[in-house]
Amino acid sequence: MFRAIVTALFVLLAPAVAFAHNCPALMAQIDAALPEATLSDEDRALVEELRADGEAFHEAGEHDASMAVLSEAMEILGIE
């Protein structure tokens, strides 16, 4: 019975954990889109700065801040 409960909890919680704070996936999307993006020099520099800030926040364990700046970079790039 205990095994069934643990398994059920794992199945219910695993997707939430897997998709929470997916900073590396967002960084990869930005990295893929940036070379082909048609942006002004200012916007390109801003996206690169936001991308770098996102990685720094991620490495510092500040995932909410990382997601916020990476999402801003994605918005500039037109990535949904």
Q: For residue range 42-68, list pLDDT tens digits in order.
A: 999 999 999 999 999 999 999 999 999
Please report which confidence band the pLDDT of residue 2 belongs to, taking 50, 70 and 90 as the band edges: low
SS3 content of the chain, % helix, strand, coil (to 5): 80, 0, 20
**pLDDT at 4 (0 to 100):** 55
Position 38, amino acid:
T
pLDDT value at 11 more than 60: no
Comparing C-alpha atoms, which of 43, 59, 8, 58 is closest to residue 70? 58
What is residue 61's three-state secondary structure? Answer: coil
